[in-house]
Amino acid sequence: MKITVAGTGYVGLVTGVCLAEIGHNVTCVDVDENKINLMKSGKSPIYEAGLEELMLKNKDRLTYTTDYKSAYKDADVIFIGVGTPEKKDGSANLKYVYEVVKQIAETVEKDSLVVIKSTVPIGTNDKIERFLKENLKNDVDVEVASNPEFLAQGTAVKDTLQASRIVLGVKSKRAEKILRKVYDGFNQPYVVTDRRSAEMIKYASNDFLALKISYINEIANLCEIVGANVEDIAKGMGYDPRIGNKFLRAGIGYGGSCFPKDTKALHWLANFHDYELKTVKAAIEVNENQKIKLIKKARRYYESFNGLNVAILGLTFKPGTDDLREAPSLANIPILLEDGANIKAWDPVGVENYKKIYPNEITYCDSIEEAIKDADICLIFTEWPEIVNFDISKFEKLMKKPIVLDGRNCYDLKEVKDAGIIYESIGRRTINGYYKISSIEEVATAKNK
Ligand code: UDX
């Protein structure tokens, strides 16, 4: 079977490499020549644990090319895994998907199955098939199937090779048979359904997870008001198998390339059909506020950040990735800069990408110690292991004023108490915290209390 994968981002490349890992010969095609050259030299264009090793291991079964004609013309199965970014109005932008579909229509020379992996609005598979049938240059039969992925960045290889399920949205037994053959090396439960339902499974799953996060974040906010501990709440809830213990980590909101975009896209789609998805709308609103929660907390200590040294620990939207898309740090840093803060930031892998946005406005540090030295306040945006395992006594020793606002609940409250710092986290008791500290003297008093 000749398999081609269009797009070499998280979805496309991981799919292609994992299919090679189970024995297929796979051609990965992308319009970006730099990316293709990088992959030809054995390097992965994305930061993803284990991916480069698999690329190397399966190099004889993997071809990388920009030559879409040769990649599509005699392929049995063509996976489309290109991005569907958010448009300004919240809807999904299908520009890249259709660019590939047009190329397929022009070039395909034999019967083939086009499989949509990209997250696309419900009904898109039907539209693509119609488009192909109307625009095919050659007299061939092309069917479209929906096969959404559920991989998370940082664990993408594992999530693909050991996926929780394989969803097949098919119109015919033939398409199902082909896809079952493709996935023969995988040992996961299949959900076989129609194409629209498969498209909906993807959105419904992502939006449900986003909802779960926003729900626990709201509970966390209430915990702070009424004096309860959200981590114990999540633990107590999580033992109930109907609820489950995953995705109940309170924090400063979800970021990344999927949840923000997929919640907005489904909400938009519902609106388009004169229906209001109230729960999803609430999840979006809660998340927007949650992202700037640390700034709001910080303002209780300092009315303005002008001239203050602010340490930022963690820039990416989550650990294990260099991706900054919708990262909470990006919602906060402009506010701090506008106020005139001196920002020193540390992140193990996100700095290069950050420099593309803020080349000069931020001082990037090589160590956590360097970032927090002489800081008036420290904000933690990402729970990188280096931050979680950091010796917290150093905050007190190195910072000018040891106020640590932790957006990811990195530290144990008991340990924090002994470290003598002012510490606020999400949905948990504040340690040594005082509202409206506006002078160094007041902080010193707070510290000594
Ligand atoms: C997500 C889905 O997990 C994946 O199935 C889908 O295919 C793409 O979107 P990803 O965006 O890579 O994957 O990361 P994920 O680990 O799900 O985290 C997303 C965001 O939610 C991060 O910002 C993370 O910090 C946040 N999160 C996650 C929480 O705030 N609390 C949690 O309990 C879990």
Q: What does the domain layout of the chain look like in residue ranges?
A: 2-193, 202-291, 293-448
In whole numbers, what is the pLDDT of the chain averaged over residues? 94
The residues facing 5 across adjacent strands are 28, 79
Residue whose CA is at the smallest distance from ligand 1 atom 28: 247
CA-nearest of 142, 126, 146 to 192 is 146
> Whole-angstrom Cα distance, residue 320 to residue 385?
9
Biggest alpha carbon–alpha carbon distance for the chain: 82
Pocket test for ligand 1, best of 15, 155, 158, 209 (most atoms within 8 A of CB): 209
> Catalytic amino acids?
258
Model confidence at 335: pLDDT above 90: yes
- According to CATH, the superfamily of the domain at 293-448 is NAD(P)-binding Rossmann-like Domain (3.40.50.720)
Output the CA 258–ligand 1 centroid distance in Å. Answer: 8
* Residue range 390-443, pLDDT digits in tens: 999 999 999 999 999 999 999 999 999 889 899 999 999 999 875 444 444 555
What region does 326 belong to: left with phi over 0, alpha with psi -120 to 50, or beta? left
What whole-number distance in Å separates Cα of residue 424 and Cα of residue 402?
A: 11
Distance CA 267, CA 284 (A): 9
Ligand 1 site: residues with CB under 6 angstroms? 150-153, 206, 209, 213, 247-249, 251, 254-256, 258-259, 317-318
2-193 and 293-448 share one fold: yes
Binding site for substrate, by residue number, is 202, 247-251, 255, 318
Name which of 363, 11, 22, 403 is nearest 181 in CA terms: 22
**pLDDT for res 444:** 52
Ligand 1 atom closest to the CA of 251, numbered from 1:
30
β-partners of residue 424 are 405
Q: Tell me what percent of the residues of the chain surpass a pLDDT of 90.
A: 92
Q: How far is the CA of 151 from the centre of ligand 1 (A)?
A: 10
What pLDDT score does 438 carry?
47
Do 260 and 395 contact (CB within 8 A), yes or no? no
Fold exhibited by the domain 202-291: N-(1-d-carboxylethyl)-l-norvaline Dehydrogenase; domain 2 (1.10.1040)
Q: Point out the ligand 1 atom lying closest to the alpha carbon of residue 258.
A: 9
Residue 432 has a pLDDT of 85
Nearest CA to ligand 1 atom 13: 152
Q: Where are the alpha helices (DSSP H) in 81-194?
A: 95-107, 124-135, 156-161, 173-182
Return the CATH number of 2-193, one of 3.30.420.40, 3.40.50.720, 3.20.20.60, 3.40.50.1970. Answer: 3.40.50.720
Question: In 3-state terms, what secondary structure has residue 362?
Answer: strand
ipTM of the complex: 0.98
For residue 358, the CA-to-ligand 1 centroid distance in Å is: 25
Ligand 1 center from residue 334 Cα (angstroms): 23
Nearest to 12 by CA among 131, 197, 147, 130: 147
Q: Is the dihedral of CA 241, 247, 252, 258 positive or negative?
A: negative
Give Cα separations from 261 to 98, 108, 209, 272 (angstroms). Answer: 19, 32, 13, 16
Residue owning the nearest CA to atom 4 of ligand 1:
152
Hey, CA dihedral for 42, 43, 44, 50, is it positive or negative?
A: positive
pLDDT in tens, 219-239: 999 999 999 999 999 999 999
Residue that is written with structure tokens 């506008």 in the block? 338
- 180-206: pLDDT as tens digits: 999 997 888 999 999 999 999 999 999
> What local confidence, expressed as pLDDT, does residue 212 receive?
98
